[in-house]
């Protein structure tokens, strides 16, 4: 039968193997706390989980960091024993290469290859808009989308194949054959450059991070660039 893990805030972690249930908590396992904030599995069925402080105290130095469980051994990475930038994680996403991407409180975006290599992206060394990342999503075009903790901080998006390149303007984001989205980060407006000028209207659908359709807009034909207001998702003509 299929297996699943369920986080229970603040009761700890439950595992169901199709027949029986197993409870994991800080007393009978390597979990540092019982308050499970987020979890994900890689292709080898290894669990990556983050536990928040049991009193729900958040901040760079609070929380359990990142915990790995292979079914036998528990290993925790925190700011004292690894390059992870924050012990408070809000989201964990595993990409197709089994890299672990972590949205943190106050530490930006962290990447871990699951072995030894770490990379941290923050407002000082990248185009990240804010150092608290609440959601991480990688789409089929190999772009990483990051939601920040408040609406005023907008979203950040980057092409994973170019994430280590500096982002300064629209020209640096142009990719042949792909739709270009900028600026990174976006606050009030999101600009869209299609890979070619369309002779017919272009339709843009907006989804939230749960996959729910928010709206679909029809954009005029024969435009080199489009601008969407993030406040109301309305089209406006870009300034000359």
Whole-structure pTM value: 0.68
| Strands annotated E in the chain | 4-8, 12-16, 21-24, 35-41, 47-52, 66-69, 74-77, 89-94, 100-104, 109-112, 118-121, 133-138, 143-148, 155-159, 180-182, 189-193, 202-207, 213-219, 226-229, 235-236
Q: Which residue has the tokens 């749960």?
A: 210
Closest Cα partner for 163 from 110, 204, 210?
110
Query: How far apart are the C-alpha atoms of 196 and 107, rounded to whole Å?
Result: 38
Instruction: Output 13 or 238, whichever has higher pLDDT.
Output: 13
**Is the pLDDT reported for residue 40 higher than 70?**
yes
Query: How far apart are the C-alpha atoms of 195 and 116, rounded to whole Å?
Result: 38
Closest Cα partner for 69 from 136, 7, 144?
7
- Taking only the tens place, the pLDDT of each residue in 145-197 is 999 876 666 788 888 888 887 654 434 444 445 566 666 666 677 777 776 66
Task: Identify whether the C-beta of residue 126 lies closer than 8 Å to the C-beta of residue 160.
Answer: no
**Is the pLDDT reported for residue 22 higher than 80?**
yes
Q: Say what the pLDDT of residue 44 is.
A: 94
Task: Identify whether the C-beta of residue 23 lies closer than 8 Å to the C-beta of residue 44.
Answer: no
Residue % of the chain over a pLDDT of 90: 38
Q: Say what the pLDDT of residue 1 is.
A: 43
Cis peptide upstream of residue 35 (ω within 30 degrees of 0): no
Question: Which token pair is 126?
Answer: 């990248």
Query: How far apart are the C-alpha atoms of 23 and 1, rounded to whole Å?
Result: 18
Average per-residue pLDDT for the chain? 81
Q: Say what the pLDDT of residue 107 is.
A: 93
Task: Identify whether the C-beta of residue 116 lies closer than 8 Å to the C-beta of residue 160.
Answer: no
Where helices occur in the chain by DSSP H, the ranges are 170-173
Q: Say what the pLDDT of residue 164 is.
A: 80
Q: Which residue has the tokens 């989804």?
A: 207
User: 53-59, long-range: CB within 8 Å, 24+ apart, which pairs?
Assistant: 53/88, 54/10, 54/26, 56/10, 58/88, 58/105, 59/86, 59/88, 59/105, 59/106
Q: Say what the pLDDT of residue 50 is.
A: 94
Query: How far apart are the C-alpha atoms of 234 and 182, rounded to whole Å?
Result: 16
- Taking only the tens place, the pLDDT of each residue in 83-94 is 999 999 999 999
- Cα 152 to chain centroid distance, Å, stands at 17
> Could you tell me the sign of the dihedral formed by the alpha carbons of 177, 178, 179, 183, in that order?
negative
């Amino acid at each position: 039968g299929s297996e699943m893990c369920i986080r229970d805030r603040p009761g700890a972690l439950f595992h169901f193997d199709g027949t029986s249930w197993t409870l994991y908590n800080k007393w009978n396992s390597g979990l540092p706390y019982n308050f499970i904030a987020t979890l994900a599995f890689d292709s080898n069925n290894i669990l990556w989980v983050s536990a928040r402080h049991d009193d729900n105290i958040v901040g760079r130095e609070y929380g359990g960091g990142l915990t790995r469980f292979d079914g036998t051994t528990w290993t925790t990475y925190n700011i004292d024993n690894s390059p992870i930038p924050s012990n408070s994680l809000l989201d964990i996403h595993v990409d197709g290469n089994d890299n672990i991407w972590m949205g943190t409180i106050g530490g930006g975006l962290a990447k871990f290859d699951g072995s030894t290599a770490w990379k941290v992206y923050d407002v000082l060394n990248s185009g990240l808009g804010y150092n608290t990342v609440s959601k991480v999503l990688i789409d089929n075009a190999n772009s990483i989308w990051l939601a920040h903790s408040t609406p005023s901080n907008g979203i950040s998006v980057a092409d994973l194949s170019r994430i280590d390149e500096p982002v300064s303007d629209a020209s640096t984001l142009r990719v042949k054959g792909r739709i270009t989205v900028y600026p990174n980060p976006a606050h009030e407006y999101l600009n869209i450059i299609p890979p070619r000028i369309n002779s017919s209207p272009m339709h843009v659908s907006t989804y939230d991070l749960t996959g729910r359709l928010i709206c679909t807009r029809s954009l005029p034909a024969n435009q080199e660039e489009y601008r969407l207001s993030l406040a109301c998702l309305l089209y406006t003509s870009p300034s000359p």
